[in-house]
Structure 1
């Protein structure tokens, strides 16, 4: 299974509820990957994302690169919402083609169905959490990723 299914499964989970913000998406994929590793399912992901400690905790440039590719392939939609600070918040939603891909892979491969289940659990637990609380939770569980934090 390709690692791109991790963010796609997250966007698919919880009836396609959007994921607000790049930082939130990074943390959710990180937590999902860690949960799969704990369940000894890390082999399900071909080349897992390599996360490094960064400004707001675990960060993967490959995840951004994959996200850009999925946007170009019309699997994912990213909407920009302007913030008062003048910055932009990205809101990510799965597109019909991405949804079809996740459903097809889930039906054909039991391992993908388990990934979708983990995505559902992670998204239900953390997607509605305040971003500051999510970052603090990740730091408390994985303190090595807080070492370069600006937060």
Structure 2
């Protein structure tokens, strides 16, 4: 990658990888950069429930409140609105274009959430698919 392209991407940022990992030997914290960093942040926002971060109680999407809900069209709208609001409030580097919520597997409770977004400074389109299980833990054998 040429130097000019790297400089243009620096606004996308960098940060610790999540989950936190250390490189063997040097014991340095592994970092992510640019698009990978934004995707990890989106994933972190989707996984985090409200109040989980003591100094940022409104951080996250709070999707856990939808566990064990009946999979109906109204639930799709509620999840869509929760994701849009969470990304608007917590990820300023992107503009959410569309959030698509699909009930992929009613038996296992799989809901796929597709987020189509644009990087604010370059207007480059990307998407992110987050698998969310409504019926968490129902695949346990007795």
Q: Is the TM-score greater than 0.5?
A: no
Which protein has the bigger strand share? 2
Which protein has the bigger helix share? 1
Instruction: Give the greater-gyration-radius structure (CA).
Output: 2
Q: Which structure ranks higher in relative contact order (CA pairs < 8 Å, sequence separation ≥ 6)? A: 1
Output the TM-score relative to the length of structure 1. Answer: 0.28
